[in-house]
Structure 1
Amino acid sequence: MSSVTPHLHRRRSWWGWGFEDAKVDAASLAPLVSDVLGFPLSGAVEAPVELSSISLPETRFPRPDGIEGWSTDPRDRIEHAYGRSFPDTLRAFRGQVDHPPDAVVFAASEDDVEATLEWAAREDVAVIPFGGGTSVCGGVEPKVPADRLGVVSLDLSRLDRVVEVDPVSRAARIQAGVAGPALEAQLAEHGMTMRFFPQSFELSTLGGWIATRAGGHFATVWTHIDDLVESVRAITPSGAWESRRLPGSGAGPSPDRMLLGSEGILGVITEAWVRVQPKPTHRAARAVRFKDFMNGCEAVREIAQSGLNPANCRLVDALEAQQTGAGDGSHSVLVLGFESTDHDVDHSLQRALAIARGHGGEHDEASGSGSGGGAVGAWREAFLAMPYLRDALLQLGILSDTFETAITWDRWPAFHAAVSAATREALGEPCRVTCRLTHVYPDGPAPYFTVLAPARRGDELAQWEAMKRAASDAILAAGGTITHHHAVGRDHREWYDLQRPDLFAAALRAAKAAVDPAGVLNPGVLVDA
């Protein structure tokens, strides 16, 4: 019984976010907790359980003939038992592995995918497609109906190549299992970049981005992976599903658009054609300070409706700016940036700055274009480190989580007040509920909330569930979406059912029945098992 996890120079953390060698020393965050957040420290730094102490149930079936890349190694099973949400991380940290897969299949080809799905459908075994395992909504946990013979996690990380680049059309055919850094490194060999950088970039995969309709680098225009996809190929229990590669089409409902956001229930995405571009050569950025968050929101609305289309237009409230080092807690901060592969963007930046000044924004002058100074750099570094910080805060006894949504501008002020208040009430004092706008549209923002509170050690799951329910109920009651780019998974399913039309749910169930008659693919996600 040996592990067949692909060789990596850096080892992934088995219980939390990222790589083991990048973990943050929890003790070093104690001053942040006490001095910046003002939370009492309840005790010693808690360590995760020993991996070797976790007992797993025996695999419920023998290794089938003809399935390559098969592993029942305990570490492989544990690493594929969860995504990386707060409850996922907490349970793994404490050694509570509720639903481990019976086995992990590391597919190295479409033939491996086909063989696994054929066997699973025949034997009534559930299959959970698995990319980077970064789901924060319960999307990859092998929690399936008890009447299944068992469940396997189908890992796509060996499908990790840029197969073909079309420099004329600026597009590339890329396998679904490639993670962000490897994707960018291979495109760079052709002088190209996909320019898609979600917070999970170092770990998440192209297939995962497509399956969850992930949000990326651009704050306007190209906000979702949807905007970069030309075509998608997936393997289903009923055969292959591939859309024609086109820049656009009006030929009925689009096959690839149906796979976007399908979360593994309609097929295993194996590759896609996506839009790429040369690396931008013209950049200009600045940090703008606002004494009032809502004044900053008005500036962002006008910028979003101006047609300037900034690449970055993220407004961070004063408390979050303080937490990330982008401010001192007295001002909200707008991280504003433009970029182009073709032309100078200083004029666009100056026009956006003028709009911001009209709403009370202040900024430091800088010579020429560039990074925009310390606040922009501090925010960028903190943005990438946030998931690591969450794990370290857990060790200190701090509940830390995020949720995101979208709403139209006319309802935004009341929405922000209602959701923030409901979340604070559920957490109780002391707590912090902060907000930033990650993506902005002419008709509304995508707010991203961060919650921090002293954890009730031993009762964190109940504490989190109360917060999550209060926030989710408030979001739907105020007219927002249960998710803007984090997907539905199992955690958001209850509110997704309330948000979508019943007839659409019936149509989605019919589509799943057509491509997956036995219902083996990620049962319970999006539609009933």
Structure 2
Amino acid sequence: MTQTPGTRSWWGWGTQEQALGVQEAEALVARLAGLLPDADLTVHAPPALRPESLPAVRITPPPSLAPLSSTDTHDRAGHTHGKAFRDIVRNLRGDLAHAPDLVVRPGTERDVVDVLDWASSENVAVIPYGGGTSVVGGVEARFDGGYAGALSLDVTAMDRVLEIDRTSRAARIQAGVLGPHLEEQLRPYDLTLRHFPQSFAFSTLGGWLATRAGGHFATLYTHIDDLTESLRVVSPYGVGESRRLPGSGAGPSPDRMFLGSEGALGVITEAWMRLQDRPRWRAGTSVRFADWDAAVAATRAVAQSGLHPSNCRLLDAAEAFLSTGASVGGGVLVLGFESADHPVDAALERAVALCRDHGGSLSEGSARGTSSERDASASAWRSSFLRMPYQRDALVQRSVIAETFETATTWDGFPALHAAVAAAATAAIRDVCGIGVLTCRFTHVYPDGPAPYYGIYAPGAWDGLLGQWDEIKTAVSQAIVDHGGTITHHHAVSRDHRPFYDQQRPEPFAAALSAAKAALDPAGILNPGVLV
């Protein structure tokens, strides 16, 4: 298995080697200190891990599964939480109360069947685990039910591209493959899955499928759903595999039932995925706006133009400043185009023209049309995009509440939702922190609406961080649901979003989902507490 070089951090994002250095951290803190004066930025280091840091192991695997199982302290600690703000805070405090008893790494689908058979018979909860990058409590053994124990089913040993259909541009891929290793295996065929979430380096195909992940590209094929041809899933009921088809009208889609099921209905072991030829032509720029409403209107025009940019990411003034250091009145729209078949200069020129119709202007000296000459703001954004999780960790260590909300809504509904979120966040931040900053960017755009992604930065009290964050999250989440947005566009439901997902989904569907859970997982061992 190929991983991003370095030592995975058990308490924070990514690898220890890629964490913020002293100079980068100081620059980040300096920018934020100007917005959050009087914040206590004392650094809190992660605790040393010892066996007594974790609860005692309650279960013993059978001899047949013992070679696949680990009770190593760092292994269990690293599989205890995901990578959300709440997770980082608890890790920094040494709160590992929900550590799994075992980390089990199946090497084959037969191993997965054997694990589920044993767990069902012994009342052991099974939490499917890919890269562990969930930010909504999806991989945590936090649930009720009187289970004998819990195991983290780490599928990353199942990481191969098993078959490639070059004619149809598709591949049969094991679910445990990490993003970089997947692309390495496709590159000799000049093919790509072209799915690059922010967590790409540390997340798996199975995780993308189980959470209906969104990729980096802002239009057209935005979700992993769009790239899925068929799935193979193991549940306590049995093994199921859907037929490979470009499309089908034969009843409800079996793939749709498992996409986004978060391991509650079965363990995805393989998938046939639709591939694309690797891009040869690229072009990009960024457009500045003096007015936010005009920037939104321009973004809508581009989204409805049929140009299908690969990047169409709108940053409001606060987001642009924190991410790239750019000072603008209304916002910055980062545009990018790419193609494996033809030059894309004309598409970029047309998108820029649409932006100019709404008062947009290009940065002085910005370059468009070649991959070697990119606008400085666009390049700064891409770099910042990949560094954001590491920056978040550095801020959390300094008692800064730094976390995000993401949603989607229609264009006509966006103004009211945006105003409601801003009001709810501002009031909650004022009540629990005194001051703070709210930012907004569009991560994805569709002809009928945007996917706004909100960031919150506020000075917290080290001893009260979790309570402060929970108050803010509850207020904003309720505002999103009350004003017609989805509780999640691409971060999944899991345990943290369950109360709001229950409000969003139709009641007949909830009943059908519960019935499916009972049929596929009679003992209720699969990821208890998510979805149903």
Band the TM-score falls in, shorter-chain normalisation: over 0.9
- The separation in 2 between residues aligned to 1:495 and 1:167, in whole angstroms, is 43
2:178 is aligned with 1:179: yes
Map of 2:475 onto structure 1: 470
Is the CA contact 2:344–2:369 (under 8 Å) kept in the aligned structure 1? Answer: no
Is 1:488 matched up with 2:506? no
CA distance in 2, matches of 1:35, 1:105: 43
Query: Which one-letter code corresponds to 2:441 in the other structure?
Result: R
In the alignment, which residue of structure 1 is the partner of 2:428?
426
Cα distance per residue 1:95-148 (max 9 Å; x no partner): 001211111101111011011000000111110000000000001101132411
2:48 pairs with 1:50: yes
Secondary structure, counterpart of 1:496 in structure 2: helix
Does residue 284 of structure 1 match 2:286? no
| Contact 2:100/2:150 (8 A) holds in 1 | yes
Q: Does structure 2 retain, via aligned residues, the 8 Å contact 1:77–1:101? A: yes
Matched with 2:144 is 145
Q: CA deviation at 1:330?
A: 3.6
Aligned mates of 2:325, 2:338 — CA distance in 1 = 21
- After TM superposition, the structure 1 stretch with the greater mean CA deviation from structure 2, 317-326 or 489-498, is 317-326
Q: For 1:38, which of 32, 35, 38 is the aligned residue? A: 35
Which amino acid letter does the alignment assign opposite residue 11 of structure 1? T
Aligned position for 1:305: 304
Report Cα offsets for 1:194-253 as digits up to 9, x if no partner: 111000011010000000000002211101000000001111111112110111111111
Distance apart, 1:32 and its partner CA: 3.3
| Post-superposition offset of 1:368 | 3.6
Measured after TM superposition, the shift of residue 331 of structure 1 is 4.5
Which structure 1 segments of 5+ residues have no match?
none
**Which letter does structure 2 place at the counterpart of 1:373?**
D
- Matched with 2:64 is 66
Map of 1:505 onto structure 2: 510
Q: How does 1:509-528 map to 2 (within 5 A)?
A: 509-527=514-532
TM-score normalised by length of structure 1: 0.96
Verify: 1:342 aligned to 2:341, yes or no: yes
- The 3-state SS of whatever aligns with 1:409 is coil
Residues 1:70 and 1:409: Cα distance change in structure 2 (over 3 Å) = same
Aligned residues of 1:326 and 1:374 also touching (Cα < 8 A): no
In the TM superposition, residue 57 of structure 1 has moved relative to its aligned partner by 2.0
- Change in CA separation of 1:367 and 1:177 when aligned onto 2, cut-off 3 Å: closer
- Does the 8 Å contact 2:300/2:411 carry over to 1? yes
**Relative to 1, partners in 2 of residues 1:432 and 1:367: Cα closer, same or farther, differing over 3 Å?**
closer
* Partner residue in 1 for 2:273: 274
CA contact (8 A) 1:221 1:309 kept: yes
1:316-342 Cα shifts (integer Å, max 9, x gaps): 011111111162244511011111111
User: Aligned partner of 1:52: which letter?
Assistant: R
TM-score, scaled relative to structure 2? 0.95
* Counterpart in the other structure of 2:395: 393
Q: Report if aligned partners of 1:70, 1:103 keep a CA contact under 8 Å in 2.
A: yes
The answer to whether the 8 Å contact 2:127/2:152 transfers is yes
Instruction: Name the CA distance, whole Å, in 2 between partners of 1:6 and 1:363.
Output: 40
Q: What is residue 407 of structure 1 aligned with on the other side?
A: 409
User: Structure 1: which amino acid aligns with 2:139?
Assistant: V
Q: Which piece of structure 1 moves more, 30-39 or 158-167? A: 30-39
Instruction: Report the RMSD for the aligned CA atoms in angstroms.
Output: 1.6
2:17 matched residue in structure 1: 21
Q: Structure 2 stretches of 5 or more lacking a match?
A: none
Indicate the residue corresponding to 2:384 in structure 1.
Answer: 382
- Aligned-partner Cα distance in 2 for 1:352–1:173: 36
Match of 2:101 in 1: 102
Q: Is the 8 A contact 1:26 1:45 kept in 2?
A: no
Aligned equivalents of 2:367 and 2:237: distance in 1? 59
Q: Deviation at 1:31?
A: 4.3
Paired residue for 2:195? 196
Query: Residue 41 of structure 1: CA displacement?
Result: 4.0
> What amino acid maps onto 1:145 in structure 2?
D
Query: 8 Å contact 2:3–2:180 — kept in the other structure?
Result: no
User: What residue number does 2:218 align with?
Assistant: 219
Contact 1:315 1:335 in 2 (8 A): yes
Identity of aligned residues (%): 55
Do residues 165 (structure 1) and 164 (structure 2) align? yes
CA shift digits 1:299-323 (9 cap, x unpaired)? 1111111111111100001111111
- 3-state secondary structure, aligned to 2:28: helix
Check conservation: 2:2, 2:178, Cα contact below 8 A. no
